[in-house]
Amino acid sequence: MPNLTDPKLISGNANKPLASAIARRMSMHRGMSVDLVDARVERFNDGEIFVEMYDNVRGEDVFIIQPTSNPANDNLMELLIMSDALRRSSAQRITAVIPYFGYARQDRRTKARTPITAKLVANMLVEAGVERILTMDLHAAQIQGFFDIPVDNLYASPIFALDIMTHFKDQMDDVMIVSPDVGGVARARELAKRINAPLSIVDKRREKPGEIAEMTVIGDVTGKTCIIVDDICDTAGTLCKAAEVLLENGAKEVHSYITHGVLSGPAVERVTNSVMKSLVITDTIQATDPVLACHNIRIVPTAPMFAQATLNIWNGTSVSSLFDVETLGPIYEGLYTV
């Protein structure tokens, strides 16, 4: 049944450019203006967060756009407080659009006396009044089971497939998809299937956390244009080392496609000085000035996909239809020609 209310978008401070881009895309798709709710999200002198909505949201279907990226705790608290403010303002339904879901790497107990923080965050979001989650490339798919509310997990691989088929269209026979570790094989295999490319794996063994003792390439990469695929790039140490190992094993050139460019600490410097020809990330996390200035980092937009997914949720239609390259092609028309 069609929704009788218009979708309302509100943005925190984590990634306002992405929120504005989603609003513009939704306006294009609907043929009528979709604006961000007029609100202020500010901090008191002691760091406490204050939220005030200036627009009426009573009975409205509201979407909060807020990745919980660095600073993760501040952005998470903004999201929780915005949800509480909307619930107390009688919003009909609150959907949290979390392009990058922070704390997702803490999804299990790896040793004694450690937390499962991803589950704690899930509980906090539900308690704050969130009734639905829309995110992209969760670090672990089972995190969806931490919620007792609907979770729509979008995938960047269809966007990456469009990008690869556009930028490597003259050398697709030489393209090989590479997983930087055994744990990411499923993600890499999915992209490899989409573009009909072979798959290789870089097996890494650690002596202790943060240190890579040994890397071994599983598969013949000789003369191949290798594309490393992963969901998160944090300090880029593993990524840059994997690129070196692939070239040592005969790869022609190395590129990387990473969904969430966390890129903390020395990451940008490492990428700049690495043997990688390019690092492609999405805009789920707002790019810093050093990232934007880096000559071998390129950003692909997710706003078209999030805008369509938001409209589909609002209309009560399929979100999984966005998992196919054929469906995304028209949405990204003008950006990619395959």
Cα–Cα distances in angstroms (integers) from residue 221 to residues 59, 174, 193, 243, in the given order? 57, 9, 17, 12
d(CA 135, CA 152): 6
Range list of β-strands (E), 225-296 = 225-233, 253-261, 278-282
Positions at the binding site for D-ribose 5-phosphate: 206, 230, 234-238
Identify the three-state secondary structure at position 108: coil
Which residue among 193, 204, 241, 277 is the active-site one?
Answer: 204
Whether residue 209 is preceded by a cis peptide bond, meaning omega within 30 degrees of 0, is no
Residue carrying structure tokens 């690092």? 279
* Residue 231 structure tokens: 């969901």
Phi/psi at 18 (nearest 5 deg)?
-65, -40
Check if 16 is active-site. Answer: no
- State in Å, rounded, how far the first CA of the chain is from the last one: 35
Positions at the binding site: 46-48, 105-106, 139, 181, 206, 230, 234-238
Positions at the binding site for ATP: 46-48, 105-106
Residues taking part in catalysis? 204
